[in-house]
Amino acid sequence: MTKQYETGLMWFRRDLRVEDNAALYHALKSCRQVLCVFVLDREILDLLPRADRRVEFIRESLVDLDGQLRQLGNDEGRQRAGLIVLHAWAAEAVPALASTLSIDAVFTNNDDEPQGLERDTKVGQALALSGKAFHSFKDHVIFERAEVLTQTGKPYSVFTPYKNAWLKKIDDFYLRPYPVRQYGAALIDRPPTYNAPVPELAEFGFEKTNLSSLKIPTGTTGAAVLVDAFLERIDQYHATRDFPAAKGPSYLGVHLRFGTVSIRHLAAIAFRLQTGGSPGAAVWLSELIWRDFYAQILSNFPHVASRSFKPAYDAIAWEEGLEAQTLYEAWCEGRTGYPLVDAAMAQIRETGYMHNRLRMVTASFLAKDLGVDWRWGERYFAVHLNDFDLSSNNGGWQWASSSGCDAQPYFRIFNPVSQSEKFDAQGKFIRKYLPQLAGLSNAALHSPWLASPLELSAAGVELGGNYPYPVVDHAKARTRTLQRYACVARQP
């Protein structure tokens, strides 16, 4: 078969796997010989703290990816196949590498985040100036951009009709994996200059975190372990997913974020099990569709990256000055006096993970109990979440603050106590992250300020000492929130 290009470069980004990788498949199929690169992009990394779990996750997953590529090469008789890893500014490094290696075409998978689009435009332009092609493919979602539209040809802004259209459109074609190994013979040995192992964290300025002690599995090997474990309990997902102390979620968020598992693989599993009657799989498939939904919202309405989806919500007068900063810091540090909120904030600080139910509770608390601009919380999650994904994080925060598409009504305000009593009734989650409250009875645990002095003393809890009084009264905060959102209620 005649190949379109002599030499191609596969540029990995948020797709750290060999199996079912769209761009890698097209590179191997279209080029007589292919090299692979990942750039530790200084445009992103230079802004991060020197100890960042995501960077360590990426580094460990690159080791896994390098091993996969070496094996693929070995299967074809190559001795030095593998991954070229650079620490540089990607917008400059990729065109430069393409020139050095006499590359004819660069292949990569789409990144629809604003920063990614800007970077890819620069790369594409630089390559074009030197007569090189740039090809980008859909890989991170099932349907992207304008693939699912209303009957009038417009993007959906309400989830349920989007989901119905998604389910109507889905078929085996969209779920079929790319047969990468069929074209593995095109993968060639790396030039001697680039035949180096994946650099250690310290070599590009980072430190180890508690990732290994948290036992967060990395790479496609780790993702496969999590998928297998989740499939054993997926049928009960609908019944367990809202309880933070239960092993209900898939815990695959970080793997979806960095592409160490294929979304087509997961959606195919969920779709097959749903068709077979699994209620848990049906709910989980809906969660995967929400992911697609928020991705197309960011793509079609890019203003959401910095402003409210609903323009009227940008008129809300959030708390400002020292008062806002004080409340925000109490929220960040888990000092609000509401145990479920504080335990959730301890969880994200200590692990980089937060249960989805708690993401809703803490986001609602910041925006609607404390009156702090939702964008402050969005930025905090962006720094601390292992699975941070701009579209999903932004969509979730706008949903909680009622400023987004298909969001909860502005007058729906989560009560942090009733949420605690409903979803952590036995206090197992709270006690894990707030051990100073462990001695309280279940009845007192959710609202310690209502406990008797005798019970507090017996449990070793000192309000205002080892645990704070509530920073706000929820009932009064609710009234203030309704007043704050009055400008929205008056909109026609």
Q: Is 357 exposed, middle or buried (0-12, 13-18, 19+ CB in 10 A)?
A: buried
Strands across the sheet with 83-88, in order?
Answer: 83-88, 31-41, 5-12, 105-109, 133-137
Gap between the Cα atoms of 331 and 353, Å rounded: 16
Cα angle 433, 389, 380 (rounded to 5 degrees) comes to 50
Q: Is the dihedral of CA 346, 350, 356, 359 positive or negative?
A: positive
Query: Can you read off the two tokens belonging to residue 241?
Result: 């997913």
Known catalytic residue at 290: yes
Taking every pair of Cα atoms in the chain, the longest distance, rounded to a whole number of angstroms, is 83
Beta-carbon contacts of 257 under 8 Å, excluding residues fewer than 6 positions away, are 14, 386, 387, 388, 389
Sequence-separated (6 or more) residues with CB below 8 Å from residue 56: 201, 206, 208, 209, 211
Task: Report whether 373 contacts 277 (CB < 8 A).
Answer: no
What three-state secondary structure class fits 444?
helix
Catalytic residue chosen out of the listed positions 144, 287, 421, 455: 287
Active-site residue flag, 147: no
Do the beta carbons of residue 134 and residue 123 sit within 8 Å?
yes
Q: Rounded distance, CA 121 to CA 124, Å?
A: 5
One of 166, 284, 397, 399 is an active-site residue; which one? 397
Catalytic residue among 74, 318, 442, 449: 318
**The two structure tokens encoding residue 336:** 């609000």
Token pair 């007589």 is found at 32
Pick the catalytic residue: 300, 356, 415, 442?
Answer: 356
Q: Kindly give, in sequence order, each residue whose CB lies less than 8 Å from that of residue 388, ignoring residues fewer than 6 positions away.
A: 54, 257, 381, 382
Tokens read off for 361: 């509770």
Residue 374 designated active-site: yes
Annotated active-site residue in 11, 284, 290, 399: 290
Catalytic residue (choose from 11, 374, 376, 399): 374
The Cα 160–Cα 148 span in angstroms is 13
The two tokens of residue 386 are 């292992």
What three-state secondary structure class fits 269? helix
Respond yes or no: is residue 284 known to be catalytic.
Answer: no
Helix, strand and coil in the chain, % to nearest 5:
55, 10, 35
* Catalytic residue list contains 318: yes
Report the catalytic residues.
Answer: 287, 290, 318, 356, 374, 397
